[in-house]
């Protein structure tokens, strides 16, 4: 990720609609798939960035993180998080079958994903779960992806194949960030054209009322995702079991 993007994320992700809505989705699915009231669950968050998702993950167990950026770890420490270590997801320095849950939120697109999935499979206990979010659809590639140093975007079927090859069994597969797909698609397509394409993340600062409205739409979507799967969205969501 470009250096300046860490600061932008740190400044915006507490309240920005995309990040807030995504946390609602993460929390809703963790509530559905993790054992009730089991605070001893060992959770490993990969590519944890500035650590904002620890706000949600800490409700479900004992959370540790891995990131390959010292900047990311410094921002985590600003949030009071001291359980993140410097490391490479493709070569995790974690004992075999030692973790109950792995979360990989918008990280696989940065990596040799098949190597990373095998590494995740190795560290998970038998019966453990991996929760994955990743950007959807290669046709939406834009300067946003380049600024974040993405290597690819995904389809659900592609991620399913890669998880299966790594040994996982699929529990849930869906697109998400679906309610807001149309405006995001139009914006991304516009910014990917000709001279309008720039290597910068597509944070568009909205009026507070509109930001709040988008958050509430994604909160509704989060509830629906616990009961059904969407066939289109800006991100893909997969939950798989070892």
The CATH number for 62's domain is: 3.40.50.150
CA distances, 234 to each of 34, 77, 98, 177 (Å): 25, 30, 32, 5
Q: Is the pLDDT of residue 194 over 60?
A: no
Q: How many CA atoms lie within 13 A of 162 on its CB side?
A: 21
Strands 42-46 and 99-105: parallel
Q: Give the model's confidence band at 115: pLDDT under 50 very low, under 70 low, under 90 confident, else very high.
A: very high
Taking every pair of Cα atoms in the chain, the longest distance, rounded to a whole number of angstroms, is 53
Q: Is the pLDDT of residue 201 over 70?
A: no
pLDDT at position 192: 65
Q: Is the pLDDT of residue 167 over 60?
A: yes
- Count of domains for the chain: 1
Structural domain of residue 49, as residue ranges? 3-241
41 three-state secondary structure = coil
The reported pTM is 0.92
pLDDT at position 195: 45
pLDDT at position 63: 97
């Amino acid at each position: 990720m470009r250096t300046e993007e860490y600061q932008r994320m740190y400044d915006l992700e507490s309240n920005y609609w995309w990040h807030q809505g995504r946390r609602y989705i993460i929390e809703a699915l963790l509530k559905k798939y993790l054992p009730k009231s089991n605070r001893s669950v060992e959770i490993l968050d990969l590519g944890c960035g500035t650590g904002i998702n620890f706000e949600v993950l800490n409700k479900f167990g004992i959370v540790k993180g891995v990131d390959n950026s010292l900047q990311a770890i410094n921002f985590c420490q600003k949030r009071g998080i001291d359980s993140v270590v410097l490391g490479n997801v493709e070569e995790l320095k974690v004992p075999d079958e030692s973790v109950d849950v792995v979360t990989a939120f918008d990280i696989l697109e940065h990596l040799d994903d098949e190597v990373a999935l095998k590494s995740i499979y190795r560290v998970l206990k038998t019966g453990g779960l991996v929760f994955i979010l990743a950007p959807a659809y290669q046709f939406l590639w834009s300067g946003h992806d380049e600024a974040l140093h993405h290597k690819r975007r995904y389809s659900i079927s592609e991620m399913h194949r890669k998880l299966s090859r790594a040994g996982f069994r699929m529990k849930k597969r869906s697109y998400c960030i679906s309610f807001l797909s149309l405006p995001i698609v139009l914006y991304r397509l516009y910014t990917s054209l000709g001279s309008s394409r720039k290597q910068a993340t597509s944070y568009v600062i909205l009026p507070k009322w509109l930001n709040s409205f988008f958050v509430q739409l994604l909160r509704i979507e989060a509830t629906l995702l616990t009961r059904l799967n969407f066939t289109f969205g800006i991100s893909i969501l997969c939950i798989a079991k070892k």
